[in-house]
Amino acid sequence: MRRLRRLKDDDFLCSVFDYLVSHETEAKAFLVKSTKHRKIWLQNFSQG
Protein backbone atom coordinates (compact mmCIF):
# COMPACT_ATOMS: atom_id res chain seq x y z
CA MET A 1 0.00 0.00 0.00
CA ARG A 2 2.84 2.41 0.82
CA ARG A 3 4.47 1.58 -2.49
CA LEU A 4 1.27 2.42 -4.37
CA ARG A 5 1.01 5.75 -2.59
CA ARG A 6 4.66 6.48 -3.37
CA LEU A 7 4.03 5.78 -7.06
CA LYS A 8 1.03 8.11 -7.03
CA ASP A 9 3.09 10.78 -5.28
CA ASP A 10 5.84 10.36 -7.88
CA ASP A 11 3.31 10.69 -10.72
CA PHE A 12 1.83 13.79 -9.11
CA LEU A 13 5.23 15.42 -8.61
CA CYS A 14 6.17 14.64 -12.22
CA SER A 15 2.96 16.33 -13.36
CA VAL A 16 3.71 19.38 -11.22
CA PHE A 17 7.27 19.52 -12.56
CA ASP A 18 6.12 19.24 -16.17
CA TYR A 19 3.53 21.97 -15.63
CA LEU A 20 5.97 24.36 -13.99
CA VAL A 21 8.62 23.75 -16.66
CA SER A 22 6.12 24.75 -19.33
CA HIS A 23 4.83 27.78 -17.33
CA GLU A 24 7.96 29.69 -16.38
CA THR A 25 6.20 32.67 -14.78
CA GLU A 26 4.14 30.43 -12.51
CA ALA A 27 7.26 28.42 -11.66
CA LYS A 28 9.05 31.57 -10.51
CA ALA A 29 6.03 32.60 -8.44
CA PHE A 30 5.84 29.12 -6.91
CA LEU A 31 9.49 29.26 -5.86
CA VAL A 32 9.08 32.49 -3.91
CA LYS A 33 5.95 31.35 -2.05
CA SER A 34 6.13 30.35 1.59
CA THR A 35 5.87 26.66 2.42
CA LYS A 36 2.26 27.18 3.54
CA HIS A 37 1.31 28.78 0.23
CA ARG A 38 3.18 26.15 -1.79
CA LYS A 39 1.10 23.46 -0.05
CA ILE A 40 -2.09 25.35 -0.89
CA TRP A 41 -0.97 25.72 -4.51
CA LEU A 42 -0.21 21.97 -4.71
CA GLN A 43 -3.62 21.11 -3.24
CA ASN A 44 -5.34 23.33 -5.80
CA PHE A 45 -3.24 21.83 -8.59
CA SER A 46 -4.20 18.31 -7.55
CA GLN A 47 -7.90 19.21 -7.70
CA GLY A 48 -7.61 20.28 -11.29
- Annotated domain spans of the chain: 2-46
- pLDDT band at residue 21, thresholds of 50, 70 and 90? very high
Q: Using the 8-state DSSP alphabet, how is residue 10 labeled? A: H
Radius of gyration of the chain measured on its C-alpha atoms: 12
Share of the chain above pLDDT 90, in %: 79
Half-sphere exposure of 13 (CA within 13 A, CB side): 6
pLDDT at residue number 26:
97
pLDDT at residue number 44:
96
Res. 1: pLDDT tops 70? no
Between CA 15 and CA 42 the distance in angstroms is 11
pLDDT at residue number 6:
78
Q: Is the model more confident about 7 or about 9?
A: 9
In this prediction the pTM is: 0.80
Write down how long the chain is: 48
Q: Which residues contact 42 (CB under 8 A, 6 or more apart)?
A: 16
Between CA 1 and CA 17 the distance in angstroms is 24
